[in-house]
Structure 1
Amino acid sequence: MTNRQWFKFHSWAGFAFAGLLLLICITGVLATLSYEIQYLSDEKYRALEEREGPVAWKELESNLSKSYPESHILGAQVHSQNYLAGEVRLMTPNGFRFVYFDAASGQLLGEGDWGQVSRYLRDIHMYLSMGGVGKYIVTLTSLLLLISLISSFYVYRKWWRGFLAKPGKLSWKKRTEWSSWHKWMGLWSWWFIATITITGIWYLAEHMMFNFDIEHYPAAPTVEHTKAQQQQPALSLTELVSIAQAARPDMDITRFYYPHQYNQPISFTGQNGSILLRDRANRVYLDPVTGEVAGTQYAGNLGIVARISDTADPLHFGDFSGLTVKLIYAFFGLILVALVAGGMRMHYLRTQKRDPNTAKWLGITGSLSLVLSVAALIYTTVVFDDYSNISTSISPQLEQLKTRNSNYPE
């Protein structure tokens, strides 16, 4: 391909759905820091002290039974950042509630609805609040980023000299000045763009494997109960955590979810010192009624595909080494936003000389992406706080918790 052909290819990939790509990039930056945004917005999202030992699950359950006696625990999670409060999902007589707590002490800090800032941003960024179709739309834009990234090295001849080149003074109406900044920012952020692109393509492949029932991740075991056992509620959180911790003493339990059906186990997940992995890479499956260990999963035993699946999120959002890395990701995310917006501006300056008509500048794909972006924003604003899953878990009602005579390890 000639240099001019590469340039047209680069311009098409960067502008064809630029409006949608811009929305995804902006929400990606905000989603990376979404929990920190919540932290700044209200005290209930802030931990009281830094956690040094295990999560205070026993104290948490005790406090919940006093404050929400008629409720059922659905699940809970603790973030890797110790300054963030943990969150419990409760089904109360009045519907779903998030209850926030201090992970070190189990003290309750406040409550809220399903709608959160983090939920709003992540719903748009991950799938435009449009379910599986939206997931395809979002992840397919990673192919546009791939084309833009590869073609840029052909468009920008002798690009390695540009790292230390000083870009000119930015002028709103001069395309050449926009171009110099576009090249310079692109060079310094290529590693970040490559990371986002590769993980985005993985999300696309993973979504396709899920839709076509291609086995790519270890399945959870099933459990069996007698009819009499199916009339019993699950064991208390305190009992189940004790069993799970005994089964995996190396694992810092950070999240769990009670099942909705009796043939499903309760899953406890967490970290064990493995690098660049989601909490779900390590698991303990328990029979929620009898407490028997139904299975365990070790991060070190995962196959290559499953390992990639559990590494994608930390790499994509920078959630693997504290706030500093997240801020670095947010900074380079803003550069990516500037690259997309700058590309749109350059395209406009180049085409307005021939035809200043905005509709013709946007074209069919540009107009479609703009409409899709606005629709996603409006729709998410309307529905993001609706909790559609009205079924409860098989967890015990909090006021009915009793000390059970058992040989469960303490």
Structure 2
Amino acid sequence: MIRFWSSIHTWTSLICTTFLLMLCLTGLPLIFHHELNHALGYEVEPPPLPPGTPHVSLDRVVEAALAHRPGEVIQFVGFDRDEPNIAVLSMNKTAEANPDTNSHIVIDRRTGAVLKELKSNEGPIHFLLKMHVDMFLGLPGKLFLGAMGVLFVAALVSGAVLYGPFMKKLDFGTVRRSRARRIRWLDWHNLIGITALTWTLVVGTTGFINALDDLILKSWQAGQLAEMTAPYRNSPRPDALSSLEAAVATAKAAAPAMTPRIIAYPGTMFTSTNHYAVFLAGDTPLTARLLKPALIDAATGALTDLRAMPWYVQTVFVAQPLHFGDYGGLPLKIIWALFDMATIALLGGGLYLWAVRRRKSGMRSNDETEAGAAQAFLGVAE
């Protein structure tokens, strides 16, 4: 049985380690993406105004964005959970255009003034995010990295199974400093691996879930969203859209304990050609991630449907911030970064131990060879 788990552990580890090192290295700065984007000028702070300054109508915000980029249309309106005085309007030439090419107009909600224009594909954080998410390969890249996540979880589980039998003669945390360098590396490898096991399982599992987000979105579009918009399936987009301010007020009246986070304009991927989709969320760290769409008829301003999204979509909403430690503010991000660096050491140590074992494989006895098969992630004790 040990030989079986050793074989699983070794091969799953070797296949995915290189890609996991890339994910850990790119993921480390992404943990602090808000802070880094702010420092680099890719996030905007509104100018100081007296506390309690009221917001202007969203219709005025819309007018400011359309005047800033004449000839274009609004696809989405987003509200920053941490900065309620800012609205970000994503614009493109048509409602159906690829959002990756959008321009993002940052507007002060208190004055209606345009603060800055940003592009979807600008900045070093965007480069790192694309590398981390899909290696610039789109859906195939996502699915490939998702498969690497599955192998990573398999390596962790098999390593945990092997850890007990191979460490039963040593106290927890033992590092045999008087032994050869390979043995010292092995002991550190074991200690880091078992200490970070829970974190690596969480990050590996949420990474796999996040890799499926495009497929999950398409499933929601073909299922619940199609059901919600079925009566309007063959209706054209209205020539004139009703008030966005009134649409948001209608959505808030239907869900008074929730706050609008994103508004999808008619014709975009998150709604129909006839509806504003106002996505609302709660105010706790968890419920703030769980969105509930309210569909507002874009011609009449009437509410046509409001329902919670399916569990599989909510799973993605929970997994995405958890993957980057974006739940508990800066302290949790620092903890996530420390575990990320520990995982980099774990992966690098595993590669070193495997290389040493390969060089010395001809000199080992049968027993040593069997034991050495577990040395890719959590390792063994000798």
TM (norm. structure 2) is 0.74
Q: Determine if contact 1:314/1:320 at 8 Å carries over to the other structure.
A: yes
| 1:77 matched to 2:78 | yes
* Partner SS for 2:225: coil
Q: How does 1:10-409 map to 2 (within 5 A)?
A: 10-42=9-41, 44-46=43-45, 48=47, 58=58, 60-61=61-62, 63-64=64-65, 67-82=68-83, 87-91=88-92, 96-102=102-108, 107-116=113-122, 117-157=124-164, 165=173, 167=175, 174-203=181-210, 218-219=224-225, 221-222=228-229, 224=232, 230=237, 232-260=239-267, 263-273=273-283, 276-277=286-287, 279=289, 281-298=291-308, 304-353=311-360
Matches of 2:55 and 2:171, distance apart in 1: 46
Residue 45 of structure 1 aligns with an amino acid whose one-letter code is V
The one-letter code sitting in structure 2 at the alignment partner of 1:90 is: M
Moved more, 151-160 or 79-88: 79-88
1:155-194 CA-partner distances (Å, limit 9, x unpaired): 32366998962546699x9322222222121122111112
Structure 1 position 73, deviation (Å): 2.0
Partners of 1:310 and 1:6 lie apart in 2 by 34
For the Cα contact (< 8 Å) 1:46–1:83, is it kept in 2?
no
Change (3 A) 1:154 1:187: same
Higher normalized contact order (CA 8 Å, seq sep 6+, divided by chain length)? 1
2:304 aligns to what SS in structure 1?
A: strand
In structure 1, what is the equivalent of residue 375 of structure 2?
Answer: none
What letter is aligned with 1:281?
A: L
Partners of 1:327 and 1:287 in 2: how far apart? 44
Report if aligned partners of 2:74, 2:91 keep a CA contact under 8 Å in 1: yes
Q: Tell me the equivalent position of 1:378.
A: none
Name the % identity. Answer: 20
Deviates more, 1:323-332 or 1:287-296: 323-332
Report if the CA contact (8 A) 1:57-1:241 is conserved: no
Q: Partner of 1:289: helix, strand, or coil?
A: coil
C-alpha contact 2:88 2:107 (8 A) present in aligned 1: yes
Contact 1:265 1:286 in 2 (8 A): yes
Which residue does 1:380 correspond to in 2? Answer: none
- Code of the residue aligned with 1:175 in structure 2: it is R
Where 1:175 maps in the other structure, the secondary structure is helix
Once the two structures are overlaid, the 10-residue window that deviates more, 282-291 or 120-129, is 120-129
Measured in 2, the distance between the counterparts of 1:174 and 1:120 equals 38
Which residue does 1:369 correspond to in 2? none
Q: How many residues align?
A: 347
- For 2:256, the aligned partner's letter is P
How far 1:237 moved relative to its partner? 3.0
Distance 1:37 1:214, change over 3 A: closer
Runs of 5+ unmatched residues, structure 1: 356-410
Q: Which residue of 1 aligns with 2:377?
A: none
Contact 1:245/1:251 (8 A) holds in 2 = yes
Q: 1:69 & 1:170 partners in 2: Cα distance?
A: 72
* Cα 1:282–1:162 shift into 2, 3 Å: farther
Runs of at least 5 residues in structure 2 that lack an aligned partner in the other structure: 95-100, 363-382
RMSD (CA atoms) = 4.0
Deviation at 1:137, TM superposition (A): 0.5
Is the contact made by 1:270 and 1:282 (CA closer than 8 Å) also made in structure 2?
yes
CA pair 41-309 structure 1, distance change in 2 beyond 3 A: closer
Query: How big is the shift at 1:293?
Result: 1.0
